[in-house]
Amino acid sequence: MRELRRLVHSPHHLFVFEVCGRLLSFTRAAEELGVSQPAVSLAMRQCETAIGQDIFERRHRAIRLTDAGERFYNQVSLSFERLLQAAREVNRGDEEHLVTLSISTAFANYWVMPRMTRLHRSHPNIDLRLQVVDKDVDLEYDNVSLGIRRGRGNWPGYDSASIAREEIYAVASPAYLAANARPTSLEDLLTHQFIHLEEPFRPRPTWRDWFESFGVDFVDRGEGLRLNDYALVIQAAMAGEGIAIGWRHVTDSLIKKRLLVPVLAQSWITGEEFHLIWSDRTELSQSAQQVRDWIIEESKAAAMVRLP
């Protein structure tokens, strides 16, 4: 906690940062917080000084998050959501509107969190609690309403709905590609620095699998950065550490923000899909049904959006 106090200085800075990062406007943030615009600007300068990184790019009448600011905002907003859920749980006497969703860190950060405002706007009384896990759990045993799984949709004891086909491509940050010769072919890509995902519990396609899908041999010599959580892989890629495997349904929003870019035109549709699942033995509450239907509709909307 001492290091946190040293890096943050004041919890108030985090509240101000969340509003600024969400609204991308110091003026509008000041209006929401009920303070002056210079006070907001000063708080963010103090926050940047403490962290040692610029978290905003200041333009004429506009601001945007830097790469570091985007990563920081994702974590702060997710932490605030968890704190809000905990406060609601303590403050509320019944759990009629409580819905738990078991998901990975990456899916929480880059799929659910950017859509939370729309969920709260559509269903303001629902208390959606995110259970971030590193392996698939038994929803009924752990008293979890909904979960996300990769597969073909045929799990005994569960109903399911496909929310995304598995499509994988190579992604990197614009800074990495600017500093390194951009590959022009799969063979050329083999000469670059790779970021590897090594999930301990859930099998996921590797770089070898990806290259083999295009008929190219990949020899893993143990080089490159190796991480056991996909959210860390994405953060490392945005930081310019190398080229990562990009699951389209997770990285689409980052591609649109130019935090990541596709490295080559090739993408691999594996035949697997990501499904929303729920127990077929326990009837979902009305709130859980609403969250289920909302996630399905959001996934359909995302599938209709094409990258430029």
The yes-or-no verdict on residue 3 having pLDDT over 90 is: no
Look at residue 140 in the predicted model and tell me its pLDDT. 82
For 86-131, what is each residue's pLDDT tens digit? 776 665 545 667 899 999 999 999 999 888 888 988 888 888 888 8
What one-character-per-residue DSSP string does 87-134 give?
A: HHHHH-S--TTEEEEEE-HHHIIIIIGGGHHHHHHH-TT-EEEEEE-S
Q: What are phi and psi of 276, to 5 degrees?
A: -85, 130
Look at residue 133 in the predicted model and tell me its pLDDT. 84
Look at residue 51 in the predicted model and tell me its pLDDT. 87
Round to whole Å and give the CA distance between 249 and 227: 20
Q: Which sign, positive or negative, has the C-alpha torsion 25, 27, 28, 32?
A: positive
The yes-or-no verdict on residue 58 having pLDDT over 60 is: yes
Look at residue 306 in the predicted model and tell me its pLDDT. 47
Q: What is the pTM of this model?
A: 0.69
Look at residue 187 in the predicted model and tell me its pLDDT. 95
The yes-or-no verdict on residue 247 having pLDDT over 80 is: yes
User: Which of 48-52, 159-163, 270-274, 288-292 is the least confident region?
Assistant: 48-52
Q: What percent of the chain has pLDDT over 90?
A: 52
Going by pLDDT thresholds of 50, 70 and 90, the confidence category of residue 6 is low
More confident position, 12 or 260 = 260
Look at residue 8 in the predicted model and tell me its pLDDT. 64
In this prediction, residues 235-263 reach a mean pLDDT of 94
Look at residue 161 in the predicted model and tell me its pLDDT. 95
Amino acid at 290: Q
Round to whole Å and give the CA distance between 227 and 198: 6
CA-based nearest residue to 127, from 288, 292, 19: 288
Look at residue 83 in the predicted model and tell me its pLDDT. 81
Kindly report the average pLDDT of the chain as a whole number: 88
- Exposed e or buried b for every residue in 80-114, given b needs 16+ CB within 10 A? ebeeebeeeeeeeeeeebbbbbbbbbbbbbbbbbe
In this prediction, residues 81-88 reach a mean pLDDT of 75
Look at residue 303 in the predicted model and tell me its pLDDT. 81
Look at residue 307 in the predicted model and tell me its pLDDT. 43
For 131-158, what is each residue's pLDDT tens digit? 888 888 888 888 899 999 999 888 999 9
Domains and CATH numbers, the chain: 2-66 (1.10.10.10), 73-164+273-304 (3.40.190.10), 165-271 (3.40.190.10)
For 264-288, what is each residue's pLDDT tens digit? 999 999 999 999 999 998 889 999 9
The yes-or-no verdict on residue 308 having pLDDT over 60 is: no
**In the sheet where 127-132 sits, what is the strand order?**
127-132, 98-103, 146-151, 261-279, 158-172, 243-247, 194-197, 225-227
For 205-220, what is each residue's pLDDT tens digit? 999 999 999 999 998 8
The yes-or-no verdict on residue 305 having pLDDT over 80 is: no
